[in-house]
Amino acid sequence: MLAIFRQEYAHPPEELNSPASKDRRPKQPDQIVAEFLSSDPHNAFTMYGDGAVLAYIRSSSRLPYSRLFCGLDDVYCVFLGTLDNLSALIRQYGLSKNTDEALLVIEAYRTLRDRGPYPADQVVKDLVGHFAFVIFDRKSGTVFAALGSDGVVQLYWGIAADGSVVISDNVDVVRRSCGKSFAPFPAGCMFHSGTGGLQSFEHPMNKLKAMPRVDSEGVLCGANFKVDTYTKVNSMPRVGSSANWAPLSQ
Protein backbone atom coordinates (compact mmCIF):
# COMPACT_ATOMS: atom_id res chain seq x y z
CA MET A 1 0.00 0.00 0.00
CA LEU A 2 1.02 3.60 -0.51
CA ALA A 3 -0.22 6.87 0.97
CA ILE A 4 1.08 10.35 0.14
CA PHE A 5 -0.06 13.58 1.82
CA ARG A 6 1.02 17.15 1.19
CA GLN A 7 2.53 19.14 4.05
CA GLU A 8 -0.68 20.99 4.86
CA TYR A 9 -2.33 17.66 5.69
CA ALA A 10 0.47 16.00 7.65
CA HIS A 11 3.44 17.36 9.60
CA PRO A 12 5.67 14.43 10.62
CA PRO A 13 8.47 14.80 13.19
CA GLU A 14 11.33 16.99 11.96
CA GLU A 15 13.83 14.23 12.71
CA LEU A 16 12.40 12.17 9.84
CA ASN A 17 13.93 14.60 7.33
CA SER A 18 17.61 13.87 6.66
CA PRO A 19 19.97 16.47 5.13
CA ALA A 20 21.64 13.61 3.25
CA SER A 21 18.52 13.20 1.10
CA LYS A 22 19.58 16.17 -1.03
CA ASP A 23 22.33 13.99 -2.48
CA ARG A 24 19.97 11.05 -3.09
CA ARG A 25 17.30 13.07 -4.94
CA PRO A 26 13.92 12.12 -3.46
CA LYS A 27 11.12 11.74 -6.00
CA GLN A 28 8.03 13.82 -6.64
CA PRO A 29 4.65 12.34 -5.54
CA ASP A 30 3.31 11.77 -9.07
CA GLN A 31 6.47 9.85 -9.97
CA ILE A 32 6.21 7.74 -6.80
CA VAL A 33 2.57 6.84 -7.50
CA ALA A 34 3.26 5.99 -11.16
CA GLU A 35 6.11 3.64 -10.25
CA PHE A 36 4.06 1.98 -7.50
CA LEU A 37 1.08 1.31 -9.78
CA SER A 38 3.28 0.06 -12.62
CA SER A 39 4.48 -2.87 -10.50
CA ASP A 40 1.05 -4.56 -10.84
CA PRO A 41 -1.33 -2.34 -12.83
CA HIS A 42 -4.11 -4.95 -13.15
CA ASN A 43 -4.48 -5.35 -9.37
CA ALA A 44 -3.87 -1.74 -8.31
CA PHE A 45 -6.39 0.81 -7.05
CA THR A 46 -5.98 4.49 -6.21
CA MET A 47 -7.94 7.32 -4.59
CA TYR A 48 -6.83 10.85 -5.52
CA GLY A 49 -7.74 13.88 -3.47
CA ASP A 50 -6.52 17.47 -3.44
CA GLY A 51 -2.95 16.81 -2.33
CA ALA A 52 -3.59 13.28 -1.07
CA VAL A 53 -3.25 9.82 -2.62
CA LEU A 54 -4.15 6.38 -1.27
CA ALA A 55 -3.12 3.41 -3.39
CA TYR A 56 -2.97 -0.31 -2.85
CA ILE A 57 -2.38 -3.54 -4.72
CA ARG A 58 -4.72 -6.39 -3.86
CA SER A 59 -3.45 -9.06 -1.49
CA SER A 60 -1.28 -11.88 -2.77
CA SER A 61 -0.53 -15.30 -1.34
CA ARG A 62 2.98 -14.14 -0.54
CA LEU A 63 1.80 -11.88 2.28
CA PRO A 64 0.92 -13.16 5.77
CA TYR A 65 -1.90 -10.61 6.03
CA SER A 66 -4.69 -9.14 3.92
CA ARG A 67 -5.05 -5.68 2.41
CA LEU A 68 -8.39 -3.88 2.42
CA PHE A 69 -9.57 -0.55 1.09
CA CYS A 70 -12.88 1.25 1.53
CA GLY A 71 -14.44 4.69 1.73
CA LEU A 72 -17.48 6.10 3.51
CA ASP A 73 -18.73 9.70 3.49
CA ASP A 74 -15.42 11.05 2.20
CA VAL A 75 -13.39 9.09 4.76
CA TYR A 76 -11.00 6.58 3.15
CA CYS A 77 -9.02 3.77 4.76
CA VAL A 78 -6.35 1.30 3.73
CA PHE A 79 -6.10 -1.52 6.27
CA LEU A 80 -3.39 -4.19 6.50
CA GLY A 81 -3.70 -7.29 8.69
CA THR A 82 -6.52 -8.86 10.68
CA LEU A 83 -8.36 -8.11 13.92
CA ASP A 84 -8.89 -10.98 16.34
CA ASN A 85 -11.76 -9.16 18.07
CA LEU A 86 -13.54 -7.97 14.92
CA SER A 87 -16.86 -9.60 15.90
CA ALA A 88 -16.82 -8.01 19.35
CA LEU A 89 -16.05 -4.58 17.91
CA ILE A 90 -18.83 -4.94 15.33
CA ARG A 91 -21.27 -5.49 18.19
CA GLN A 92 -19.77 -2.64 20.19
CA TYR A 93 -20.25 -0.16 17.33
CA GLY A 94 -23.60 -1.62 16.27
CA LEU A 95 -22.48 -2.47 12.74
CA SER A 96 -23.53 -5.04 10.17
CA LYS A 97 -22.10 -8.56 10.47
CA ASN A 98 -20.56 -8.12 7.01
CA THR A 99 -18.36 -5.23 8.19
CA ASP A 100 -14.68 -5.79 7.47
CA GLU A 101 -11.67 -4.34 9.29
CA ALA A 102 -11.27 -1.29 7.03
CA LEU A 103 -14.89 -0.22 7.43
CA LEU A 104 -14.78 -0.83 11.19
CA VAL A 105 -11.73 1.41 11.52
CA ILE A 106 -13.56 4.14 9.60
CA GLU A 107 -16.54 3.82 11.95
CA ALA A 108 -14.23 3.96 14.97
CA TYR A 109 -12.60 7.08 13.54
CA ARG A 110 -16.00 8.69 12.90
CA THR A 111 -17.01 7.94 16.50
CA LEU A 112 -13.80 9.58 17.69
CA ARG A 113 -14.45 12.59 15.45
CA ASP A 114 -18.19 13.09 15.86
CA ARG A 115 -19.32 11.55 19.12
CA GLY A 116 -16.39 12.14 21.45
CA PRO A 117 -14.78 12.82 23.67
CA TYR A 118 -13.04 9.50 23.04
CA PRO A 119 -9.23 9.54 23.44
CA ALA A 120 -7.63 8.47 20.15
CA ASP A 121 -5.22 6.16 22.00
CA GLN A 122 -8.14 4.28 23.58
CA VAL A 123 -9.85 3.79 20.22
CA VAL A 124 -6.71 2.21 18.74
CA LYS A 125 -5.94 0.25 21.90
CA ASP A 126 -9.29 -1.53 21.51
CA LEU A 127 -8.01 -3.13 18.27
CA VAL A 128 -6.63 -6.62 19.00
CA GLY A 129 -4.59 -8.37 16.32
CA HIS A 130 -1.82 -7.53 13.89
CA PHE A 131 -2.64 -4.43 11.90
CA ALA A 132 -1.68 -1.17 10.30
CA PHE A 133 -3.99 1.41 8.79
CA VAL A 134 -3.99 4.83 7.17
CA ILE A 135 -7.13 6.99 7.15
CA PHE A 136 -7.69 10.17 5.17
CA ASP A 137 -10.69 12.34 6.02
CA ARG A 138 -11.19 14.34 2.85
CA LYS A 139 -13.61 16.85 4.40
CA SER A 140 -11.39 17.88 7.30
CA GLY A 141 -8.02 17.06 5.70
CA THR A 142 -7.15 14.81 8.66
CA VAL A 143 -4.61 11.99 8.41
CA PHE A 144 -4.79 9.18 10.96
CA ALA A 145 -2.33 6.25 10.84
CA ALA A 146 -1.44 3.54 13.33
CA LEU A 147 0.68 0.39 13.58
CA GLY A 148 0.11 -2.53 15.94
CA SER A 149 2.79 -3.59 18.37
CA ASP A 150 3.23 -7.29 17.54
CA GLY A 151 5.60 -6.74 14.60
CA VAL A 152 3.73 -8.88 12.05
CA VAL A 153 2.82 -5.89 9.86
CA GLN A 154 5.54 -3.37 9.05
CA LEU A 155 5.04 0.27 8.07
CA TYR A 156 7.54 2.86 6.84
CA TRP A 157 7.34 6.59 6.24
CA GLY A 158 9.49 9.27 4.68
CA ILE A 159 9.63 12.66 2.97
CA ALA A 160 9.23 13.15 -0.80
CA ALA A 161 11.00 15.82 -2.86
CA ASP A 162 8.22 18.37 -2.33
CA GLY A 163 8.00 17.74 1.42
CA SER A 164 4.98 15.42 1.21
CA VAL A 165 4.73 12.51 3.65
CA VAL A 166 5.04 9.05 2.09
CA ILE A 167 3.72 5.98 3.98
CA SER A 168 3.97 2.38 2.79
CA ASP A 169 4.34 -1.19 4.03
CA ASN A 170 7.01 -1.71 1.33
CA VAL A 171 10.36 -0.48 2.56
CA ASP A 172 11.85 -0.47 -0.96
CA VAL A 173 9.12 1.88 -2.17
CA VAL A 174 9.84 4.37 0.61
CA ARG A 175 13.62 4.03 0.29
CA ARG A 176 13.59 4.65 -3.47
CA SER A 177 11.12 7.53 -3.10
CA CYS A 178 12.56 9.41 -0.12
CA GLY A 179 16.33 8.98 -0.32
CA LYS A 180 17.70 9.07 3.22
CA SER A 181 14.63 10.76 4.71
CA PHE A 182 12.78 7.62 5.77
CA ALA A 183 12.40 5.41 8.83
CA PRO A 184 10.27 2.57 10.19
CA PHE A 185 6.94 3.76 11.56
CA PRO A 186 7.18 3.00 15.30
CA ALA A 187 5.21 -0.04 16.47
CA GLY A 188 2.47 0.58 19.02
CA CYS A 189 2.16 4.18 17.85
CA MET A 190 -0.29 6.37 15.97
CA PHE A 191 -0.05 9.58 13.98
CA HIS A 192 -3.02 11.96 14.05
CA SER A 193 -2.52 15.19 12.15
CA GLY A 194 -5.22 16.96 14.17
CA THR A 195 -4.28 15.98 17.72
CA GLY A 196 -0.58 16.31 18.37
CA GLY A 197 1.12 14.20 15.70
CA LEU A 198 3.01 11.04 16.64
CA GLN A 199 2.39 9.34 19.98
CA SER A 200 2.27 5.91 21.57
CA PHE A 201 -1.22 4.48 22.03
CA GLU A 202 0.15 1.90 24.47
CA HIS A 203 1.82 4.54 26.66
CA PRO A 204 -0.01 7.79 25.79
CA MET A 205 1.38 9.71 28.77
CA ASN A 206 5.00 9.10 27.75
CA LYS A 207 6.84 11.19 25.18
CA LEU A 208 8.57 9.72 22.15
CA LYS A 209 12.26 10.36 21.64
CA ALA A 210 14.09 10.32 18.31
CA MET A 211 17.11 8.02 17.98
CA PRO A 212 19.43 8.94 15.05
CA ARG A 213 19.75 6.25 12.37
CA VAL A 214 23.00 5.66 10.49
CA ASP A 215 23.11 3.43 7.40
CA SER A 216 25.86 1.00 6.37
CA GLU A 217 27.71 3.87 4.68
CA GLY A 218 27.75 5.91 7.88
CA VAL A 219 25.24 8.44 6.54
CA LEU A 220 22.62 9.88 8.89
CA CYS A 221 19.09 8.77 7.97
CA GLY A 222 15.69 9.57 9.38
CA ALA A 223 15.43 8.80 13.09
CA ASN A 224 13.90 5.84 14.90
CA PHE A 225 11.21 6.83 17.40
CA LYS A 226 10.90 5.11 20.77
CA VAL A 227 8.88 5.65 23.93
CA ASP A 228 10.94 7.46 26.56
CA THR A 229 10.16 5.86 29.91
CA TYR A 230 11.77 8.79 31.74
CA THR A 231 9.67 11.64 30.37
CA LYS A 232 5.95 12.21 30.68
CA VAL A 233 3.51 14.40 28.81
CA ASN A 234 2.49 17.32 31.00
CA SER A 235 -1.08 17.08 32.23
CA MET A 236 -3.26 19.23 34.47
CA PRO A 237 -2.19 18.73 38.12
CA ARG A 238 -4.81 17.34 40.47
CA VAL A 239 -5.65 19.17 43.69
CA GLY A 240 -3.99 17.42 46.59
CA SER A 241 -1.67 15.42 44.32
CA SER A 242 2.10 15.29 44.56
CA ALA A 243 2.14 18.31 42.22
CA ASN A 244 0.31 20.38 44.82
CA TRP A 245 1.25 19.80 48.45
CA ALA A 246 -0.79 22.74 49.74
CA PRO A 247 -3.48 21.59 52.21
CA LEU A 248 -7.08 21.74 51.05
CA SER A 249 -9.00 24.70 52.45
CA GLN A 250 -11.60 23.88 55.11
- Say if CB 187 and CB 20 are below 8 A apart: no
163 strand-pairing partners: none
Q: DSSP class of residue 135?
A: E
- Say if CB 80 and CB 70 are below 8 A apart: no
pLDDT digits (tens, 9 = 90+) for 12-33: 888 898 876 555 689 999 999 9
Residue 245 lies in a domain: no
Residue 122 lies in a domain: yes
Q: What CATH number corresponds to the domain at position 142?
A: 3.60.20.10
Question: Structure pTM?
Answer: 0.85
Average pLDDT over residues 186-213: 86
* Residues near 169 by beta carbon (within 8 Å), at least 6 away in sequence: 1, 80, 132, 153, 154, 155, 156
The better pLDDT of the pair 241, 171 is held by 171
Instruction: Provide the pLDDT for residue 24.
Output: 66
Percentage above 90 pLDDT, the chain = 55
Residue 102 lies in a domain: yes
Average pLDDT over residues 30-39: 93
Residue 43 lies in a domain: yes
Residue 209 lies in a domain: yes
Please state at what angle helix 101-114 crosses helix 86-93, rounded to 10 degrees: 40
Number of domains observed in the structure of the chain: 1
- pLDDT band at 59, cuts 50/70/90? low
Residue 46 lies in a domain: yes
Q: Show the domain range for 181.
A: 2-232
Instruction: Provide the pLDDT for residue 237.
Output: 44
Instruction: Provide the pLDDT for residue 248.
Output: 38
Instruction: Provide the pLDDT for residue 194.
Output: 79
Residue 99 lies in a domain: yes
Residue 249 lies in a domain: no
